[in-house]
Structure 1
Amino acid sequence: MLITEDNKREDRKKLCDEDAMRKIKQLEEQAYQLQKQVATQKQVDGSWTSSNFNLMRPFEEEALLNEMEVTGQAFEDMQEQNSRLIQQLREKDDANFKLMTERIKTNQLNKLAREEKDVLKEQVATLTTQVEATNIVVRKLEEKERILQNSLATVEKELALRQQAMEMHKRKAIESAQSAADLKLHLDECQPFLQRFQTSKPMTPYLFEAVEKLLRYLMNRCVKPDLMKCTGPKLLSIDTKKSENLILSKNIDIGFATKRLLGETAITVTERQKLEFIHECRSMLTTMIAKLQEKSPLKQKAVRGLSSLDPCVIQHSPQLAQKRFSFLLEELNHANIINDVLAENAKKEYLHFCNLKKSELQEIFRPCDQFSDEVGLDTIYGSFLIGEANYKHLWEVIKICLVLSHGNATVEGGFSVNKSLLVENMHEKTVIAQRHIHDEIQEAGGIKNIHISKKMLDYVRGARKRYHEYLEMKKQEKSEKDKKKAEKRKLDIQVKDLEGERKKLMMATEEKREAIDVELQELKKKQASLY
């Protein structure tokens, strides 16, 4: 478009120059003709006669002068017009020169702008490629971030669940500690009873009185006093699940140790928690009492009848002892363990035995110690009744009664053996091994009766080696556990490093993206200003 306008300007300039030159030539020819006419006129004037000259002079001179003035005036006008045209031509030449100069400069600037535009296009393409590559990296980082966020969310959920579980376990631990304290209290109460009856000697005759005493002791803690005036068998009919039969929770007897512990925890435990704990103690007491009532041997007439062999009952309540012995004989007869004749004879002999003098009974039962395994009821009754014809049938019945409780004597006695073997910080395998050794010694009849064989000696000689092998195995297990812990710590550190690197990359990418966006905006503005 610029080239077409320049061509038009050059054509107009050429036309103007041609018109001016043509006019100048015409004016020069006209001036030349006029000069020629003037010269011719002068020659004619010289050849004329003076008379003719005088006749023609006034008119011709005036006409010539006028014509000369007109011609001079026309020449001056032509000169003036020629000067103006020349001035216009100069101005046009200057303008054309300026235009050509500006055109050259514009072409140069346009060329430079095009080159700069190409460079900018290349830069834009490069920046676009970089932006695309950065976007790919950002997308990958975002995907990685999303995965890490999901993992973090999963870990946070697991952490929240673990915290909840930890809180729940803490609450359970507190509750368990409270329950353990309460159970320990009641275990301490029941422990003498359990220890007393975990023996190899016959203890069934003492069972009725001991269970009644234990049940009454527990019920006195939470049952109303007016209901506790009944005898042993009637204690089983008291329903501890009914609140009207129980005293208030705050009034129950929880024991001195529990009260002291509650007093020590007054800062950390609120009154409401104390009341809840006491209420739980009452619930546990009622549950224990209900279990004792359900499984109580007081329900069995045979147990009640066996109490007739208790030396205390015979010495202090002979009539009650005779009544209970009758119950015992009835149960044995109904079970077809003894016949009617044996029952009648045993009853008579027992009546005669109870009617002995009090001093004689005291002398008979003096060696009896119910808390010792050496002298029991079987030894006492046997030493007095064996060989006595007057008590032959009574001894038969007593033998049957005293062996009734020997079914689990060895197993129950084992619990006490375990307790006596325990030492602080003793491993479970050591406890089991010591118990095996104890059982083998007991089976052999004592340590002096153990036969030392060659196999045993070889086994003992290799004990140190096996012990070192065991320690080496434990060491390897510990090493593997430590290695796993180290790997876990290493993975945790790597996860933290990756998270830090991810944050740094995200920050650097964001800064680079902002810088690229700013530079791209500036280039677009610069590109728009060139058009």
Structure 2
Amino acid sequence: DAVVQQFDSFLSLHGKSEGFLRFKPMEQRLDTFLHQTLNSSFPELWSFFQRLLLLSHGQATVERGFIVNREVETHNIKEETIEAQRLVCDQIRASGGVLKVSITEELLTSVASARTKYRIHLDEERRKREGAMRGLRRKALEDELAELKKEREVLTEVCTSLQKDADQLAEHAENKSNTLMAQMITKSNTLRRRCKEKCDELKNVECEIAVKANELRHCN
């Protein structure tokens, strides 16, 4: 078979060539690399590889990723930690093993400053949490202030209405007989007492609004 013969020839001629030894699967495309090597000298073999590369590999890569995730996963681990551990695993695999990982000056510097970066990260997370808490506190104050202002509007309308009704009853009582006058005056006084109670409530609400508004101004 021509493909088998060309494959044997290919292995004997190029199997241990410098190009194959330097091939980096994480940086180079396999189809491009094989095309440059096979297309001119081994056309039948290249045609076979073309068909082979077109075959579906299913979810093998994704499933391998899940297996790695299970290996690095522990209880209560955060997503960022999983991503970091996966990056380490992928780099070790790309390097060909732990002992083949290149120890560069950049890597040493990164390791030396890891603790400082971790502290900075913790400070940033703390500031984010504090900012979120301040935001929630501010939102709660704004909601409370809005409710108090609505209550103030209602109480203002009630006080105005009670005062108006009490005044009207007092005016109408002037032209009535003694018994009816007494009844209307009594109703008028009752409305005035209720008006006073509502006005006192209104004053309390005004004080609460002032307090909440002051808290909101200082909620930074």
* TM-score normalised by the chain length of structure 2: 0.49
Compare CA radii of gyration and give the structure with the larger one. Answer: 1
